[in-house]
Amino acid sequence: MTGGGTIVRGCALPGASGDDIVVDDVDGPEEMASCMALYADVMGLRPGDGGVNPRLLTALQANSGLVVDAHRGRELVGFAYSFLARERLEDGRGTAGRSAWRFYQYSQLAVVARAHQGKGIGRRLKHAQRDRCLAEGITLMRWTFDPVKTRNAHFNLDVLGGRLTAVKPAMYGPDGFGDDTGEVTDRFLVDWHLTEPPRAVRPLVPRAGWRPGTVHRDGEDVIVVVPAQWRNHRAEHGARAAADLRRRLCETFETVLTEHEGVSCRRLDEDLAAYRFVPRRAD
């Protein structure tokens, strides 16, 4: 039982290698502790980086949060958690003069063991969260991710069907943590409308003059070119040049998102990827 809804436990899903992957609600402090150990390993956390703990996860799960894991036999291979959140609607008024709110699940974290990445486990975790949300009448999930991590962007937008609605410069401060130490913590905000299928997006072909940071038009759509592999780009061009590109990209995204929303991120070649932004629609 999570957040007052009835949950069907032990959902077995076939793994990419033929093994069964089971996605389930995390049960008890020992399982919570194992999930936190997996998180620390995947993210490369240092002792001072901090993080959640089993007590907090237990409290979240008992009070409208969702804590799910994926395992193969006794091996933990993935973990995700979210919590119930709300925002005031734009008009701010409901019936009888009361404030109107929209409720959603905010997914703070989803990780997959390094040896099992690229096998569809992340998708299984997100769809487990989706199923639990819909069972409780929640039709929107949100989370954030680093704009320069194009593999995550492609998964969030093209695979799941999320939409980029805002960019948060230095959301967690000027310095990252774990493997991202030394990076500014810019984040995209993703809205995932759970009852909508992923939208069809026109493919892109790179053209002469396309390079990281350039902006192009495709009809009413806006295309922003980014490095396909950020760490390789940073290593090749240096930390200062990479930081300058990140700053310029963040400014570009802020401008584009005033009238558009992001719906796709696809690799163009070994060095380049591109975000597609379409005219913003009303929810």
List, for residues 166-213, the tens digit of each pLDDT value. Answer: 999 988 877 666 566 678 889 999 999 999 987 888 888 888 889 999
- The residues pairing with 11 across neighbouring beta strands, listed in sequence order, are 23
Q: Are 224 and 252 in contact (CB under 8 A)?
A: yes
Q: Is the pLDDT of residue 6 over 50?
A: no
- pLDDT for residue 235: 92
CA 227 centroid distance within chain: 19
Going by the DSSP 8-state scheme, the letter that residue 268 receives in this structure is -
Query: What is the torsional sign of CA 136, 138, 144, 145?
Result: positive
Higher pLDDT: 5 or 94? It is 94
- pLDDT for residue 95: 55
- pLDDT for residue 92: 56
- pLDDT for residue 11: 45
Q: What is the mean pLDDT of residues 235-259?
A: 96
- pLDDT for residue 226: 98
Q: Which long-range contacts (CB under 8 A, 24 or more apart) does 20-25 make?
A: 20/72, 21/70, 21/71, 21/72, 21/77, 21/121, 21/124, 22/70, 22/71, 22/72, 23/68, 23/69, 23/70, 23/124, 23/125, 23/128, 24/68, 24/69, 24/71, 25/61, 25/66, 25/67, 25/68
Q: Is the pLDDT of residue 7 over 80?
A: no
CA neighbours within 13 Å on the CB side: how many for 20?
8
- pLDDT for residue 204: 86
- pLDDT for residue 44: 82
How sure is the predictor about 20, in pLDDT bands with cuts at 50, 70 and 90?
confident
- What is the rounded average pLDDT for all residues in the chain? 87
- pLDDT for residue 281: 78
CA 28 centroid distance within chain: 26
How sure is the predictor about 91, in pLDDT bands with cuts at 50, 70 and 90?
low
The Cα–Cα gap between 139 and 153 comes to 21
Query: What is the torsional sign of CA 32, 37, 43, 49?
Result: positive
- pLDDT for residue 268: 93
Q: What is the mean pLDDT of residues 3-16?
A: 38
Going by the DSSP 8-state scheme, the letter that residue 229 receives in this structure is S
Q: Is the pLDDT of residue 103 over 90?
A: yes
Show Cβ contacts of residue 19 under 8 Å, excluding neighbours closer than 6 positions: 72, 73
- Altogether, the residues listed in the chain come to a count of 283
One-letter amino acid of 135: A
Show Cβ contacts of residue 12 under 8 Å, excluding neighbours closer than 6 positions: 20, 21, 22
Q: Is the pLDDT of residue 4 over 60?
A: no
Q: What is the mean pLDDT of residues 104-128?
A: 94
How sure is the predictor about 13, in pLDDT bands with cuts at 50, 70 and 90?
very low
Q: Is the pLDDT of residue 70 over 60?
A: yes
Q: What is the mean pLDDT of residues 235-261?
A: 96
One-letter amino acid of 25: D
Q: Is the pLDDT of residue 93 over 90?
A: no
The Cα–Cα gap between 177 and 237 comes to 22
Q: What is the mean pLDDT of residues 257-276?
A: 96
Show Cβ contacts of residue 30 under 8 Å, excluding neighbours closer than 6 positions: none
| Closest alpha carbon to 250 in 152, 151, 167, 183 | 167
- The token pair at 49 is 């980086």
Pairing of strands 66-72, 75-88: antiparallel
Q: Is the pLDDT of residue 96 over 60?
A: no
The Cα–Cα gap between 43 and 209 comes to 35
